[in-house]
């Protein structure tokens, strides 16, 4: 399996050490069978002195077996811990466009179901490895006792394994389909949770989603899990019954055909009984390993950024004066909507408003400006020099997006704690000193109204003390009084403190406060000046609503 190959490449010597421990465990198990055969079956006059040696061998076998299983389990859990951490880091390093293409439901399924399946597989992996090693070692010992009987027994066991594998292969096919169905179920869960208010108001829609969306996916999940379990149980029962049949065949060959004496037949039977549990466990472990391979393939299919251990530590660009977007073009593949070519020059310390109808490309321009979207063509320049380090460029920006996410830590430049004086100053200006509970730089209460959440998000962004502040429809969720405070007090105060502000807005009453007024129309950018700017009312903004 490819998954095991990856583990071997990353943990070669620990993996080899674990295999050696398993080999030692198998050798001890076979050695005890040989000891029983020689001292307790063949020997007629076994003395009491045999018992301490026998008990000592059992204790040694128990210790070595437990050590080998624990070693492999610890190795597996360490691999899963590393895999999960790498997966999170790769998500953080992946371009925003790719994350949006995958969707949060699939990523959450990957972090929960896929990682869990891989974890379970590593817990069961010792059973598979021990079953294989014990089978090979036992075959060698049985060949020494009676090659003829081993040949027949080997054919019988081979038929058992092949039959079990054919059944398990059906398990794999249903597991693969099960994983795809699980993605759809996670999307259904997200719909029910995120749309809970609308569904509470419209019970017909709630019933439609329950009956035709959720139930369809849930039934598909049930179908595949029942089929997978059916084939798995069939494989276990097949192996169990065939192993009992092998014992009967041994005594038939010994007593009926005269191929060996009763002592050899008893040893054969004892060995088969000894192998029965490891073989059944190995067959039982196969579906979990197959499921883990499906999960591992799914994680790889996300095509996230390559693993990098460290975060970039480059310092922010300082003392810049002009930022230019030159001929930037961006395409949305599915919808066919294009943005650009965009040509825009921002000067340090400017207050710029961007307006435009719904779907005109305003948010896309904001993502291009901040470097979160990668244009298909065009260049970003600072003071006339093209940007080559996009991660360093992004450190110029703090942002409050429309789909704001609240973090519970206030951080200043880099990862330094925020100045308490600055936090207090912002709390007073945002009228939040009695709303937020802080413990050092940690926010203790994030259960806020939408308007208050936007204010906290602005505090989080301002605390970072970066040069450019992007505000996407920030005032849309504020009451009229605080909207006036925002445009007439907060924005001028931020500008006076040296910030460059790029604000997306529909509040035509406050356009007068901007140094420049830009408008997006069907993916193209225009600057409004003179009489055009004077006529930029809400009705004028709504005249174009055909783009993205």
Shared-domain flag, residues 483 and 340: yes
Q: Taking a C-beta distance cutoff of 8 angstroms, is the pair 504, 472 a contact? A: yes
Query: Do both 327 and 460 map to the same domain?
Result: yes
Buried residues in 381-391 as b, exposed as e (16+ CB within 10 A):
eeeeeebeeee
Cα–Cα distance measured from residue 55 to residue 61, given in angstroms and rounded to the nearest whole number: 10
Residues 384, 500, single domain; the answer is yes
- Supply the CATH number for residue 10's domain: 1.20.1560.10
Domain boundary among 113, 146, 179: 146
Query: Domain holding 396: CATH number?
Result: 3.40.50.300
Residue 64 lies in a domain: yes
548 and 361 Cβ atoms separated by less than 8 Å: yes
Inside any domain, residue 468: yes
Q: Which two tokens stand for residue 78?
A: 């360490």
The answer, as to whether pTM is greater than 0.85, is no
Asked whether residue 75 falls in the same domain as residue 27, the answer is: yes
Domain count, the chain: 3
From first to last of the 548 residues of the chain, give the pLDDT tens digit: 666 677 667 777 877 787 788 778 777 877 777 777 666 666 655 566 677 877 888 888 888 888 877 887 787 778 778 878 888 888 888 888 788 778 777 788 787 778 777 777 776 776 677 777 777 777 777 777 778 777 888 788 778 877 877 787 777 778 778 777 887 887 788 788 877 777 776 777 778 888 888 888 888 888 888 888 888 888 878 877 887 788 788 788 877 777 777 777 777 777 777 777 777 667 667 777 777 877 888 888 888 888 777 767 667 677 888 888 888 888 876 656 788 788 888 888 898 888 887 777 888 888 888 888 888 888 888 888 888 888 888 888 888 888 777 777 777 776 677 777 888 888 888 888 777 777 777 777 777 778 888 888 888 888 888 888 888 888 887 888 888 888 888 888 888 888 898 988 877 777 777 888 888 888 888 887 777 767 665 444 444 443 33
Find the angle CA(114)-CA(119)-CA(121) to the nearest 5 degrees: 95
Do 141 and 151 have their domain in common?
Answer: no
Do the domain assignments include residue 368? Answer: yes
Start-to-end CA distance of the chain, whole Å, equals 45
What are the CA-CA distances from residue 255 to residues 144, 239, 248, 285, 456 (Å)? 19, 25, 11, 36, 85
124 and 173 together in one domain: no
Task: Give me the sign of the Cα torsion angle 530, 531, 537, 539.
Answer: negative
Rg (Cα) of the chain, in Å, rounded?
A: 34
The predicted pLDDT at position 546 comes to: 38
Sign of CA dihedral 242, 245, 251, 254: negative
Verify that 80 and 170 share a domain, yes or no. Answer: no
- Do 62 and 154 lie in one domain? The reply is no
Q: Within a domain: residue 350?
A: yes
Whether residue 135 sits in one domain with residue 84: yes
Backbone φ and ψ of 129, nearest 5°: -65, -45
The pLDDT, as a whole number, for residue 541 is 43
Q: What pLDDT does residue 334 have?
A: 61
Are 156 and 136 members of one domain? no
CB 250 within 8 A of CB 269: yes
Is residue 301 domain-resident? Answer: no
pLDDT of residue 545: 42
Q: Are residues 336 and 214 in the same domain?
A: no
Residue 152 lies in a domain: yes
Domain with 117, as residue range(s), is: 1-146
Domain boundary, last residue among 146, 171, 204? 146
Residue after which a domain boundary falls, among 116, 146, 176: 146
Residue 548 confidence (pLDDT): 38
Q: Residues 5-14: pLDDT tens digits?
A: 776 677 778 7
Look at residue 126 in the predicted model and tell me its pLDDT: 67
What pLDDT was estimated at residue 547? 38
Query: Is the residue at 427 inside a domain?
Result: yes
Please indicate, yes or no, whether residues 390 and 452 belong to a single structural domain of this protein.
yes
- Look-up: residue for tokens 């460029």? 393
Does the N-terminal peptide bond of residue 391 adopt cis geometry, omega within 30 degrees of 0?
no
């Amino acid at each position: 399996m490819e998954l095991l190959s990856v583990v071997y490449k990353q943990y070669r010597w620990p993996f080899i050490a674990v295999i050696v421990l398993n080999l030692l465990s198998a050798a001890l198990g076979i050695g005890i069978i040989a000891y029983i055969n020689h001292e307790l079956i063949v020997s007629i006059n076994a003395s009491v002195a045999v018992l301490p040696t026998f008990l000592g061998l059992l204790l040694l076998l128990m210790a070595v077996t437990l050590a080998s299983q624990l070693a492999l389990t610890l190795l597996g859990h360490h691999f899963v811990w590393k895999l999960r951490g790498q997966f999170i880091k790769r998500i953080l390093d992946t371009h925003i466009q790719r994350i949006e293409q995958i969707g949060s439901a699939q990523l959450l399924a990957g972090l929960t179901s896929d990682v869990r399946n891989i974890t379970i597989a590593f817990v069961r992996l010792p059973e598979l490895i021990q079953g294989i090693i014990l089978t090979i070692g036992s075959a060698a010992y049985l060949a020494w006792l009676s090659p003829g009987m081993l040949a027949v027994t080997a054919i019988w066991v081979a038929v058992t394994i092949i039959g079990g594998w054919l059944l398990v292969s059906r398990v794999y096919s249903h597991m693969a389909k099960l994983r795809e169905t699980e993605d759809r179920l996670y999307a259904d869960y997200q719909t029910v949770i995120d749309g809970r208010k609308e569904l509470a108001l419209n019970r017909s829609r709630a019933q439609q989603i329950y009956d035709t969306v959720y139930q369809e996916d849930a039934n598909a999940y049930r179908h595949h899990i029942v089929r997978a379990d059916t084939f798995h149980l069939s494989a276990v029962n097949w192996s169990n019954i065939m192993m009992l049949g092998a014992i009967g065949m041994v005594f038939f060959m010994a007593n009926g055909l005269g191929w060996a004496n009763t002592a050899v037949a008893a040893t054969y039977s004892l060995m088969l009984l000894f192998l029965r549990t490891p073989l059944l466990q190995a067959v039982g472990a196969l579906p979990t390993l197959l499921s883990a391979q499906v999960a591992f393939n799914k994680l790889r299919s996300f095509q996230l950024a390559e693993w990098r251990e460290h975060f970039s530590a480059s310092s922010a660009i300082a003392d810049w004066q002009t930022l230019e977007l030159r001929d930037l073009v961006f395409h949305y593949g599915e919808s066919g909507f294009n943005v650009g070519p965009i040509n825009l020059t921002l000067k340090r310390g400017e207050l710029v408003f961007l307006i435009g109808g719904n779907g005109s490309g305003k948010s896309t321009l904001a993502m291009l400006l901040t470097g979160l979207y990668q244009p298909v063509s065009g260049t970003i320049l600072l003071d006339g020099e093209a940007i080559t380090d996009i991660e360093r460029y992004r450190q110029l920006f703090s942002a409050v997006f429309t789909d704001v996410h609240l973090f519970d830590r206030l951080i200043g430049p880099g990862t330094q704690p925020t100045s308490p004086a600055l936090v207090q100053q912002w709390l007073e200006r945002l009228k939040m000193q009695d709303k937020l509970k802080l413990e050092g730089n940690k926010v203790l209460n994030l259960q806020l109204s939408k308007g208050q959440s936007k204010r906290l998000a602005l505090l989080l962004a301002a605390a970072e003390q970066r040069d450019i502040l992007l505000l996407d429809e920030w005032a849309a969720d504020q009451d009229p009084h605080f909207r006036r405070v925002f445009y007439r007090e907060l924005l001028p105060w931020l500008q006076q403190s040296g910030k460059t502000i790029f604000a997306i807005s529909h509040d035509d009453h406050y356009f007068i406060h901007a140094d420049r007024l830009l408008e997006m129309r069907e993916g193209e950018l225009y600057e409004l000046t003179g009489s055009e700017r004077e006529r930029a009312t809400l009705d004028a903004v709504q005249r174009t609503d055909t783009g993205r």
